[in-house]
Chains A and B, each alone.
Chain A
């Protein structure tokens, strides 16, 4: 007899057994454990040393700041009860909430505020958020529940800086125990959940903190933060019930998830502005008519439909709506005839050739770049597209040493003002002090009046005065058109219908104070 058929038969039997043993029901979850499927791994649990929104959003599980933002990005006091500012705008006196405990059982008080601010403002600790807090000259303990912070110079956005997700209160006892570096592996804060374990890159788990100061919260027993890089896999996880919340949902999967009855797809407004910056130091972009022509030539409505599957709205200003002190100025109309006329007046009746760079190389950005190329072609501007990878972007744009030789021309990029305030939406992008390599004024835009307005707004604590100055700045920028403003993105998330109280905030951070699972 030939031995092979028998061999094959045994193998087949083995496979059959293996397949049969697979038929096991999907895992059942205990009632109040929630899994969040997120798009990338966490860099750290220390918000002062994080530069990504996601790590900071995750850290809200166990950390809270003196101030914070609610789900609509409105500033609210959290561990602070109130504050007063001295007339010169230099001294902030902050009254703290009583009866708050850290997860290690120690009390939260003014000393804790001092320890945390002293830590971040000390350059020796080399924290990535040093820049946001270096404005602090000193922090003093007035009494147990009153802290006084003195600034080096007036900075009216200071409370917004404190509300930024990085500005949290870490237990001084834990800091002392673990040290400034290792605290990232042993976070202890005042938040609703306490840290359990962090298995990189698998998951990070937190469980309910019984001594949380907000009575009756949190309403779930644990949250598992699970980084799942692949878009399709994240969507699959929602469908199998292995996760109850996911962000972001890619546009191409929106329809699939929408069709599932147990899932809810949410499109939330964002402060992520997408724009095309033009290098105003270089010909032909030094001519405002050329810049206007480019802004006129792009159909923003169509762009939102084509590249963002409709989950974006044409930008109606240089600062997105949800950001404090933003002014509605647009959207910039789509008018090809006018664009051609402007271009002819500027001396380019037949257009010209130039470079179009995208700051990102993912698929949505590719669609945007191709769409922009096609639109500019209509008025005779021929562009060569380059999708920059992160390293190239840093080298060719962000750290280019000499503004005069900067190779950037048309540059597709986006920004979100993480402090929810106009200063961080304007100064890093449009003040002349922010030309690369300092910050991100990739248009190399300079308007002295805008510079003065931005400086003036920071120095004043009078809200109406501030609003006036920011309005003036935004109107001037709109007129000078260093950018073609494109769209404001919408943030797509999905959650199981049993899950309530989890929101994606306009800055792509999460708010889950009210999280509950039915």
Chain B
């Protein structure tokens, strides 16, 4: 298995390089001149020229590309065009708030989603199923920004239990993680349910029941291991998406995370920040996929790595 992980990690390098090249080309294709945007609405052409020089945008595209690749190889992602701080610093500062928000959202939504999903599958077409699936469909259909605003109005403005915005202490995490996790919980619930329903109809489950195992063993020991495989895949995907920073939730709760950083960077055509963020997101996805693959083996030892 170590060999497998190592070979996957080695495969990372060409993938990331390709992504880097594509991202570089894409951001430079975006319409709009970052020097002009940074210089502001009432800047004279001389000022724009000064700003362009300051940002290193007076060089040719190939020169900028060489500089970018060289920088990345030395773990230097340049400086943000708008704040002039090192991009690595800028991202590091925003990464932890997004990461913890993701972890908390995932924690509650996976727990809940799976519990609802399993209950719905076990009591299929009976009231736990109906309630669970009603919740799940509402969770998917209710847009996050609306949910966020409703939660904020009720719990922060009307009741005053939690602060409206901010991540200073754990109370600040409650509303955003609820908002962010709602859709994930719903997706997890539906996914778990369908996966379990399939598995519970399998021959080996019937065999298990036939040999007189009690239902608890059948569901938890036999069905769970097999049903979890697609659920874990989904979990990994969702985790990856959330780590990219939710633009909507971060805006509503004023979360100092990566989603807002990306939006701001695109608005200001902040090339170095966009490039570094896209590289980071790709890296996160690849890493999560790897973890998910390893998890398969742990959940179901019948799966082997080659």
Chain A contacts to B: CB under 8 angstroms:
1-4, 7-8, 11, 22-27, 41, 43-44, 51-52, 123, 126-131, 134, 181, 184, 199-202, 226-230, 232-233, 236-237, 239-240, 242, 389-396, 398-399, 418, 424, 428, 437-440
Interchain CB contact under 8 A, B149 and A51: no
Q: Is the CB of B30 within 8 A of A22?
A: no
- Whether A392 contacts B157 by the Cβ 8 Å rule is no
User: Which of B252-260, B276-284, B298-306 has 4 or more CB atoms under 8 Å from chain A?
Assistant: B252-260
The residue in chain A whose Cβ has the minimal distance to the Cβ of B51 is A128
Asked whether A418 and B157 contact (CB < 8 A) given A41-B264, A233-B164, A233-B254, the answer is: no
B30-68 vs A, Cβ < 8 Å mask (1 yes, 0 no): 111100111111111111001101100000000000000
In the complex, A75 Cα to B46 Cα: how many Å?
A: 28
A337 to chain B, nearest CB (A): 37
Whether, in the assembled complex, B15 has its beta carbon less than 8 Å from a beta carbon of chain A, the answer is: no
B233 close to chain A: CB less than 8 A: no
- Cα A7 to Cα B118 in complex, Å, equals 11
Q: Are A230 and B115 in contact (CB under 8 A)?
A: no
B16 at interface by CB-CB < 8 Å: no
Give 1 or 0 for each of B162-178: 1 = CB within 8 Å of chain A CB. 11111100010010000
CA distance A3 to B223 in the complex (A): 14
In the complex, the answer to whether A2 meets B216 with C-beta atoms within 8 Å is: yes
- Residues in A whose Cβ lies below 8 Å from that of B40: 51-52, 128
Question: Which 7 residue pairs of A and B lie closest in terms of their CB atoms, listed nearest first?
Answer: A51-B40, A391-B32, A126-B54, A131-B44, A3-B216, A131-B47, A236-B164
* Chain B contacts for A127, CB-based, 8 A: 50
Closest CB-CB distance, A247 to chain B, in whole Å?
A: 16
A26 in contact with B171 given A8-B119, A126-B50, A230-B252 (CB within 8 Å): no
When distances are taken between beta carbons in the complex, the residues of chain B under 8 Å from A228 are: 165, 254
How distant is the Cα of A418 from the Cα of B153 in the complex, in angstroms? Answer: 37
On chain A, the residues within 8 Å of B216 by CB distance are 1-3
The reply to whether A437 and B45 contact each other, CB–CB distance below 8 Å, is yes
Q: Chain B contact residues (Cβ within 8 angstroms of A): what range?
A: 35 or more
Report how far A8 CA is from B44 CA in the complex, Å. Answer: 66
- Chain B residues whose CB sits within 8 angstroms of the CB of A128 once the complex forms: 38-40, 43, 47, 50-51
Interface status of B126 (Cβ within 8 A of chain A):
no
Contact A390 B252 (CB under 8 A): no
From residue A214, how far is it (CB to closest CB) to chain B in Å? 31
- C-beta contact mask, B242-280 vs A, less than 8 Å → 1, else 0? 000000000111101000110010011100000000000
A25 and B162 form a contact (CB under 8 A): no
- In the docked arrangement, what's the CA distance between A26 and B156, Å? 8
How far does the alpha carbon of A314 sit from the alpha carbon of B90 in the complex, in Å?
Answer: 44
- CA A477 to CA B45, docked complex, whole Å: 25
Q: Write out the residue numbers on chain A whose beta carbons fall within 8 Å of the beta carbon of B115.
A: 7-8, 11
Decide yes or no: A130 and B46 within 8 Å by CB, A22-B171, A229-B260 being known contacts: yes
Q: Does A11 contact B44, Cβ atoms closer than 8 Å?
A: no
Q: How far is the CA of A236 from the CA of B148 in the complex (A)?
A: 12
Measured CA separation A11–B118 after assembly (Å): 14
Q: Return chain A residues, CB-CB under 8 Å to B44.
A: 131, 438-439
B53 near A394 with CB under 8 A, answer no
Residues of A within 8 A of B119 (CB): 4, 8
- The answer to whether B31 touches A395 (Cβ under 8 A) is yes
- Quick check: B45 and A424 within 8 Å, CB to CB? no
Cα(A428)–Cα(B44), bound, Å: 9
Residues of chain A contacted by B149 (CB below 8 angstroms): 232
Q: Annotate B5-17 by CB proximity to A: 1 below 8 A, 0 otherwise.
A: 0000000000000
Query: Which residues of chain A are within 8 angstroms of B111 by Cβ–Cβ distance?
Result: 11
A43 to B83, Cβ gap below 8 A?
yes
- Cα distance A129–B36 in the bound complex, in angstroms: 13
CA distance A41 to B219 in the complex (A): 51
**Contact in complex: A240, B160 (CB < 8 Å):** yes
Q: A259 to chain B: closest CB distance in Å? A: 13
How close is B127's CB to chain A, nearest CB, in angstroms?
Answer: 13
Complex Cα gap A184–B83 (Å): 10
Min distance, Cβ B33 to any Cβ of chain A, angstroms: 5
Q: How far is the CB of A322 from chain B (nearest CB, A)?
A: 18
A163 → chain B, closest Cβ, in Å?
A: 16
Q: Measured between alpha carbons, how far is A361 from B24 in the docked complex, in Å?
A: 26
Contact between chains at B36 and A394 (CB < 8 Å): yes
Shortest distance between the CB of B125 and any CB in chain A (Å) = 16
Q: Across the interface, which residues of A come within 8 angstroms of B82, CB to CB?
A: 43
What is the CB-to-nearest-CB distance from B276 to chain A, in angstroms, rounded to a whole number? 16
Q: Cα distance A226–B219 when bound, in Å?
A: 51
A25/B160 in contact, CB under 8 A: yes
Contact across chains for B54 and A24 when beta carbons are under 8 A apart: no
How far does the alpha carbon of A400 sit from the alpha carbon of B36 in the complex, in Å? 12
Inter-chain contact B215/A2, CB cutoff 8 Å: yes
Q: Which of B110-167 contact A (CB under 8 A)?
A: 111-112, 115, 118-119, 122, 149, 152-153, 155-157, 160-167
Q: How far is the CA of A233 from the CA of B150 in the complex (A)?
A: 11
Q: Point out the residues of chain B lying under 8 angstroms from A439, CB to CB.
A: 42, 44
A438 to B153, CA, bound (A): 47
Identify A242's interface contact among B83, B163, B252, B261, CB under 8 A: B163
Given A3-B216, A51-B43, A228-B165, decide whether A184 and B84 contact each other with a Cβ distance below 8 A: yes
Complex contacts, A26 vs chain B, CB 8 Å: 160-161, 163
Q: How far is the CA of A52 from the CA of B267 in the complex (A)?
A: 15
Confirm or deny: B93 has a beta carbon within 8 angstroms of a beta carbon on chain A: yes
Interface pair B256/A201, CB less than 8 Å apart: yes
B18 within 8 A of A: no
B46, B165, B220, B268 interface centre (most CB from chain A within 10 Å): B165
Residue of A131, A227, A389, A394 near B33 (CB, 8 A) is A394
Query: Which residue on B lies nearest to A6, using beta carbons?
Result: B216
Binary A-proximity of B77-110 (CB < 8 A = 1, otherwise 0): 0000011110000100110000000000000000
